[in-house]
Structure formats: C-alpha cells, structure tokens
Amino acid sequence: FSDIRGFTTVSESGSPEDIVGMLNEYFTRMVDVVFAHKGTLDKFVGDMVMALFGAPVDDPHHAEHAVDAALAMVRELKGLNEKWAAEGRPTLDIGIGISTGETMMGNFGSVKRLEYTAIGRDVNLAARLCAAADGDQVLISQDTYDLVAPLVVADELPPLKLKGIPGEVRCWNVRGLK
C-alpha cells in the first residue's frame, strides 16, 4: 500500500481541476513504477494505491520486487515534487507498507459487481504499516524483511501496536538497497 500524507489539506489548496490533474499525474507515475517492477495494480482507494506482487502470476522474487517498487515510488515522487514546486504547485509525501504472506485471491463482491483482489491478515498488515509510515518511509513486515534482508539497508523499529492486528508487530524501515 502507498498512501499520500495530508492529501485532504492539499486538496483544499487548489481548484478541483488542478487537484484531479495532479492526482492523475501521480497515479500514472506510480502505476508505471508498479508495472516496471512486475507488480499488479489492485486498486485505488481515495489517494491510496494497492498493488500485488506474486499474483495473479507467481513470482519467486515478489518481496524483492515489492521493496524495489516502493523505493522507486519514493524516488519518482521526489522528481514529481521538484516539477510541481517549480510550477508553484503543492508537493506530496507518501507512506508505504509492505507485508508478505498467504492471502486469499479471487473475485469478491456481489453478483452485481465483482472485483479481483487479495484479502487476509497480510493485506491488513500492509495497510496498517502504510498508515504507520511517515512521509517517504517504507515499512516492511518481519516476513518481508526475512526475504529481502541481504538486499536492503533497513532499521528495525520498536514493535508497533497496530489497529486490528493482535500483539505487537515487528517491522523494518527500509532506507535503500545495498
């Protein structure tokens, strides 16, 4: 999950047309990054992007690709922010959360509208890590860290208490690739 920080405030600072244009430009860039790293766009939820790695097509390097994509999203947004600042437009920050594990994949919804998506504990954990992330911060679960540890520079954070997730959660702040 990737979510814009403070978007409500930003959205009140410009015309609806400017904000829609800015959001669409942001989404276009972020989706390009997800696709370039072998991810699948699941959905947009407001200003949040949900992407899947390793589904619907199996990818043995899904965790690596997800973390690479997250870091690339942060870099891509920095470039967009430079452009927007030069144009006198507001800039954005994003927080990103990644978790690895078993999920249920399929078409969920009603008989009138089904949507292919993932559900399960690790989907919820990724969303909660995203919510806990500061601007330009990539938080990953312990299971994700276990798969990418040799490839990343990351700091373990104090265990987090996250809404809807029992117990304390070990997570890592990814600062870059080795």
β-pair type (93-98, 137-141): parallel
Distances (CA, A) of 12 to 8, 21, 96: 6, 14, 23
Q: pLDDT of 73-95, one tens digit each?
A: 999 999 999 999 999 999 999 99
Name the DSSP class of 87. Answer: T
Confidence (pLDDT) at 9: 86
pLDDT < 70 regions, the chain: none
Confidence (pLDDT) at 5: 96
pTM above 0.75, yes or no: yes
Q: pLDDT of 151-175, one tens digit each?
A: 999 999 999 999 999 999 999 999 9
Confidence (pLDDT) at 127: 98
